Amino acid sequence: MKIVYKSLDEIRLMRESALVVAAILDEVCQAVVPGISTWELDRIARAAIKREGVTSAFLGYAQPPYPAVTCISVNEEIVHGIPRRDKVIAEGDLVSVDFGSFKHGMCADSARTVIAGQGTAEGRRLVDATRRALDLAIAQCRVDNRLEDIGSAVQSCAEGEGYSVVRVFVGHGIGKRMHEDPPVHNYGTPGRGKRIKRGLVIAVEPMVNAGSPEVEVLDDGWTAVTKDRSLSAHFEHTIAVLDDGPWVLTRPSSSPGVPGHD
């Protein structure tokens, strides 16, 4: 594992990239209403990318090449849902929007789950628990803590609410590439794992299922769904570790050492 620690100047550049990501994600999530297709939501992000002069981190990524600039995953879809014209959002759907882009050669990545319309108590509870799991994980992103402290915070929160955490997909280091070392698991044992150092920048992304943690990837080669077709929620922030604590780069209200709130 070769972790590339970032200088403060690099982190400041990543913050600029991250603020664009947050703004575009806001725009897409605000458009999530019953009757809109996931393809239309992706078009909103494409227009915003052009307007902001940034580069998509997702389009053309990996094999088979990812065909969109967002991943939009609905209900039992966990992550990597491909936007489609025939995928129309319905009242109460849980819609997870994942978006990343490059600016100044630096990447930022963020995701959130929103509910179309009023939703159900079950859906709201799952979304709230997943958001809370991310906040607890961010609090562990401190110098001299361990990587598994982050995953343990997610796992304890999710399982304490009767949910399960996805294990086959993980968070990741981020910087000049979208995916760098180290992998950041959503489970772990406190006090284990590599020690966290100043300059670590990671994307922490709890994926929490209402049922089993088992995953199935659909025939499109990308869309990951819960094997038991239970609901799933996903949140993600890009976080820099500084001497005085975590700086949540993709959270506009956050400042160094003061994570802020969505």
DSSP state of 155: H
For the entire predicted model, the pTM comes to 0.95
Averaged pLDDT, groups of 10, the chain, 262 residues long:
95 98 98 98 98 98 96 98 98 98 98 96 97 98 98 98 98 98 98 97 98 98 98 98 97 79 62
**Location of structure tokens 């982190």:** 11
Q: Which pLDDT score, from 0 to 100, does residue 100 have?
A: 98
Q: List the CATH code of the domain at 8-248.
A: 3.90.230.10
The domains of the chain are located at 8-248
Q: Which pLDDT score, from 0 to 100, does residue 259 have?
A: 72
Q: Is residue 21 helix, strand or coil?
A: helix
Report the run of H or E that residue 174 belongs to, with start and end: none
Please answer whether residues 130 and 233 qualify as being in contact, where contact means their C-beta atoms are separated by less than 8 angstroms.
yes
Closest listed residue to residue 116, CA positions, set 84, 136, 90? 90
Q: Which pLDDT score, from 0 to 100, does residue 56 have?
A: 98
Count of CB atoms situated within 10 Å of the CB of 257: 12
